[in-house]
């Protein structure tokens, strides 16, 4: 006898070994069935177990929290019944001691008064409970009683029961994993539902804000333009600051409109024939006033014999303006920003670029800079926006089947560029 109350393995006859293999094969077939109800599988496994053991009654209990729950039983009325681990029951004792419990005569055992009170359900007094463990974790308990014929259960029947415990472990582990997966799916489904709801609310808020902002912004721009004709020289600086802030607000509103449409796939480019150098000149002219206020020199450089490109002029113009505004936000007075264009003849592409002399950007942050709400730094500047400008640039270039990227080293400025196919 082993110290854990388990008898030494007994030799099997050829007939016994064949019977064991046949029944194990049946259980493996049940376990490997795709789909199907877990309780039905457990019912079938229990019946095979009872037939092999030559007993009339039995049950398989599964641990749920701190209670053992009858998952399947020959007495159908007890399915779903629960026993706490501290109950005075044979199954609870097997679970607590982590060892098989064999009771040769329950009527003579003072530990189980409750079992004796319900003895009318059982024909014989011997019973056996075997705890099911995986990696020292309790999964459940197997119980059998009422040996068929004139014989009763014996201590050595523990080893017969052990022959099937690993099979039942496999079934219980499968079910536990299935339940965990189902709970995770339910949790993810709820989270996705909530995220979609929040995203819908955010989109509605965007649309409302944009709608409510556009009219007053247009009025402010018009009034500032009127004031520019009559304002005194000493107040012109304040007017320029107001115009700069207003331009920033207009740009943010336009970015939001375009981003929403690009994300929804509702913004289809309207390509037209555009000369790259003319597009650069237009973008630079719109920002020379801001550059002058910041004492930053804007330089245009364009390769000779540039081919025309077929692009949505408004979208690409705003990409260039966003890149230039971004550069202005991070450069210091007395520095230069160079905007240019190259013809990559071998690749059949035109490259637009904006090079600044700002602080630069570490390599580990460069991949994230075109993500939504991403910013180069936490610097507070009238020209540094919400992190939507570069995200808009990426969407606008990608809708043209192009590519946008940057090269930079800390302290050496940034070179933003995008490629458009001819």
Give the Cα separation of 382 and 2 in Å (integer): 81
Burial of 354 per CB tally in 10 Å (0-12, 13-18, 19+): buried
Please name which of 374, 415, 373, 389 lies closest in space to residue 247, comparing C-alpha atoms.
Answer: 389
pLDDT at 415: 94
* Same fold flag, 14-184 and 267-421: no
Outline where 109-235 has alpha helix (H).
113-117, 157-227
pLDDT at 3: 43
Lowest mean pLDDT among 141-150, 168-177, 320-329, 338-347: 168-177
Confidence band, pLDDT 50/70/90 cuts, at residue 158: confident
Q: Are 262 and 254 in contact (CB under 8 A)?
A: no
Kindly list the distances between the CA atom of residue 271 and the CA atoms of 267, 310, 349, 418, in Å, as whole numbers in the listed order: 12, 5, 16, 17
Q: Are 413 and 360 in contact (CB under 8 A)?
A: yes
Read off the pLDDT of each residue in 390-394 and give the average, rounded to a whole number: 89
- Mention the CATH class of domain 14-184: alpha beta
Instruction: Tell me the per-residue pLDDT of 287-319, one tens digit each, with 9 for 90 and over.
Output: 888 888 889 999 999 988 899 999 999 899 989
Give the Cα separation of 280 and 333 in Å (integer): 22
Please name which of 243, 256, 241 lies closest in space to residue 217, comparing C-alpha atoms.
Answer: 243
Give the Cα separation of 387 and 377 in Å (integer): 10
Give the Cα separation of 23 and 46 in Å (integer): 11
Put the strands of the sheet holding 127-134 in their side by side order. 82-84, 67-73, 55-64, 137-147, 127-134, 101-103
Supply 392's token pair.
């808009």
Instruction: Tell me the per-residue pLDDT of 159-201, one tens digit each, with 9 for 90 and over.
Output: 777 766 766 766 666 666 676 777 888 888 898 988 888 878 8
| CATH number listed for the domain at residues 267-421 | 3.30.565.10
Give the Cα separation of 37 and 69 in Å (integer): 17
Which is more confidently placed, 175 or 413? 413
Confidence band, pLDDT 50/70/90 cuts, at residue 1: very low
CA dihedral 350, 355, 360, 365 (to 10 degrees): -20
pLDDT at 336: 94
Q: Any idea where the domains of the chain sit in the sequence?
A: 14-184, 267-421
């Amino acid at each position: 006898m082993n110290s854990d109350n388990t008898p030494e393995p007994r030799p099997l006859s050829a007939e016994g070994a064949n019977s064991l293999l046949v029944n194990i094969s049946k259980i493996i077939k049940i376990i490997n069935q795709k789909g199907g109800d877990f309780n039905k599988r457990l019912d079938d496994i229990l019946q095979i177990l009872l037939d092999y053991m030559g007993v009339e009654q039995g049950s398989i209990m599964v641990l749920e929290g701190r209670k053992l729950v009858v998952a399947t039983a020959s007495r159908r009325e007890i399915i779903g019944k629960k026993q706490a681990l501290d109950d005075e029951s044979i199954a609870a004792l097997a679970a607590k001691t982590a060892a098989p419990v064999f009771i040769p005569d329950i009527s003579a055992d003072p530990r189980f008064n409750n079992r004796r009170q319900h003895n009318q359900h059982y024909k014989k007094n011997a019973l056996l409970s075997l705890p099911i463990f995986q990696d020292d974790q309790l999964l459940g308990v197997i119980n059998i009683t009422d040996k068929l014929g004139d014989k009763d259960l014996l201590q050595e029947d523990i080893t017969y029961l052990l022959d099937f415990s690993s099979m039942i472990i496999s079934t219980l582990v499968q079910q536990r994993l299935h339940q965990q997966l189902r709970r995770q799916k339910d949790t993810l489904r709820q989270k996705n539902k909530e995220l979609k709801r929040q995203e819908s609310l955010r989109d509605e808020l965007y649309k409302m804000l944009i709608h409510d902002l556009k009219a007053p912004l247009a009025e402010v721009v018009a009034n500032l333009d009127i004031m520019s004709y009559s304002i005194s020289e000493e107040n012109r600086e304040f007017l320029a600051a107001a115009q700069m802030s207003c331009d920033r607000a207009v740009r943010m509103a336009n970015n939001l409109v375009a981003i929403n449409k690009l994300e929804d796939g509702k913004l289809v480019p309207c390509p037209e024939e555009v000369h790259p150098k003319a597009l650069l000149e237009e973008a630079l002219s719109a920002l020379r006033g801001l550059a002058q206020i910041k004492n930053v020199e804007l330089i245009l450089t364009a390769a000779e014999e540039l081919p025309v490109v077929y692009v949505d002029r408004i979208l690409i113009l705003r990409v260039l303006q966003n890149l230039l505004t971004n550069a202005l936000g991070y450069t210091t007075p007395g520095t230069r920003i160079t905007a240019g264009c190259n013809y990559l003849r071998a690749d059949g592409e035109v490259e637009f670029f904006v090079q600044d002399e700002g602080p630069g950007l570490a390599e580990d942050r460069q991949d994230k800079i075109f993500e939504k709400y991403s910013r180069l730094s936490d610097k507070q500047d009238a020209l540094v926006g919400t992190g939507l400008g570069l995200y808009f640039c990426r969407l606008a270039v990608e809708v043209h089947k192009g590519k946008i990227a940057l090269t930079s080293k800390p302290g050496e400025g940034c070179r933003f560029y995008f490629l458009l196919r001819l």
